[in-house]
């Protein structure tokens, strides 16, 4: 590892630790809202990246997985 890579890794580790600290201080409602926001953005990204014919083939299986994860 070069000096720049070590510095970058150290900065990344520091940012991750700070993010964990901030998340640990959130209320339960805010944590739920944050998780829902991340899930929604992930679904939007997948909708943009996946062609429609693939979505149709796997829609039933994906909906079942999503519904099971909500309970």
Residue range 16-30, pLDDT digits in tens: 999 999 999 999 999
Q: What is the pLDDT of residue 65?
A: 61
Domain with 20 in it: 3-70
Q: What is the pLDDT of residue 35?
A: 93
Q: Is the CB of residue 24 less than 8 Å from the CB of residue 32?
A: no
> Positive or negative, the Cα torsion across 57, 59, 61, 65?
positive
Residue ranges of the chain with per-residue pLDDT less than 70: 52-57, 59-71
The torsion defined by the Cα of 6, 20, 18 and 32, in degrees rounded to 10, comes to 130
Q: What is the pLDDT of residue 43?
A: 87
Q: What is the pLDDT of residue 2?
A: 85
* pTM beyond 0.85: no
């Amino acid at each position: 590892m070069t000096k720049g890579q070590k510095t970058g890794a150290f900065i990344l580790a520091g940012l991750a630790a700070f993010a964990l600290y901030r998340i640990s201080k959130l209320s339960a409602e805010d944590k739920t809202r944050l998780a829902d926001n991340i899930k929604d953005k992930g679904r939007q990204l997948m909708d943009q990246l996946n062609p429609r014919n693939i979505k149709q083939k796997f829609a039933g299986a994906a909906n079942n997985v999503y519904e099971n994860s909500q309970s």
